Amino acid sequence: MNQNEAEKLLRSRINVTRQQVVIAKAYIMSHFEESTLSMLNKFLNDFKAQPPDKVVLHPSVPLEPQIDQASKAIIWRLSFGEAIWGLIGMGLLIPNHQALHEIDADQEWTTVVPGSGGQTAGWRLKEHNISIPTMLRIAPSAVSNLPQPLSDPDLYLSDFEIAGIHAEVEEALRQAALCFRYELYVPCLAMLAKASEGSWIELGISLLKVDKDNPALSPAKRDKFREILNGEYYSVVQKMDTVVQIYDRQDMFSEVVKRSGYNQRYLKEVLNWSNIVRDSRNAIHYGADPATQNTYDKVAALLLGAVPNIRILYSIRQVAEEISA
């Protein structure tokens, strides 16, 4: 493969994902240093993403591992740079010096191997360069007042680590964290309630797939439960109570309980949290007041509580899906 073909292959593998930016944000906030270059170097070392000194273009040297390492280095450098600007945009970090440092995406290559001559040059991938401030500080308001996971939607979602979470539930949680960041507590609770409702529905639908031939829960009864879970004319309370009612059937779900580690008691604790969220969210209705005022501390506690509670719902759901597959 010649240098032009190798360059084309390298460019085709440079794709930054949202998850990589989330990982970079979490790393920056947990390993913060004022010097961004020092942080970047440690970040690349920890993720084994330092670029190769030179990509060797010679039949005696495998090319694929070199291209993989070169693209990995560029991807993580771009992820780090985007994460820096994202955290600045959220008001968590503040540039502490007017100078910027350009992180380049250049990669040297050579056709020279021991015992032979050849050519040495480099690929200039300028469209993948990114500039970041040389010095940073944590914003004064973020030093002690705001719980770190709630300060940025990406940081908040990184705490969940839930396999199979529905995209609409994930987006509702992202919006809830964003609203909280800007002290929009009622919109935050509205999005949190949406995520809660979606998680309950997802769990209920998965539970109805388990042991489909068990006469203890007839096809007609299952259809009725599905109608409640999916129906727009049924309340959130009815949907959650339906899921609790289904899961109470231990003649059907003992294996789910055993493998997930969560019995009916855990589900009812999640129900308590969900009901508090729902009651607090009801402040969106004209003339309605929640049982307790939606203060900073209360909404923060509910938002942080979403992590263990929604994780329980999805953990049970994942086992139900595995059993019914």
Query: pLDDT digit string (tens) for 114-133?
Result: 877 788 999 999 999 999 99
Q: How much is the CA Rg of the chain, to the nearest whole Å?
A: 26
Per the structure block, which two tokens stand in for 58?
């010679």
pTM of the model: 0.66
> Using 50, 70 and 90 to split pLDDT, how confident is the model at 292?
low
Helices (H), 31-104: 36-46, 64-89
Residues in the chain: 325
What does the alpha-carbon distance between residue 86 and residue 226 come to, in Å, rounded to a whole number? 41
Neighbours of 147 (CB within 10 A): 15
What does the alpha-carbon distance between residue 76 and residue 81 come to, in Å, rounded to a whole number? 9
Dihedral sign, Cα of residue 169, residue 172, residue 174, residue 177? negative
Query: pLDDT digit string (tens) for 159-177?
Result: 777 778 899 999 999 899 8
| Neighbouring C-alpha atoms within 13 Å toward the C-beta of 160 | 30
Q: Which residue has the higher pLDDT, 280 or 136?
A: 136
Mean predicted lDDT score pLDDT of the chain: 88
Amino acid identity, position 182: Y
Query: pLDDT digit string (tens) for 212-258?
Result: 777 777 888 888 999 999 988 899 999 999 999 999 887 888 899 99
> Does residue 144 have a pLDDT over 70?
no
DSSP letters spanning 1-20: --HHHHHHHHHHT----HHH
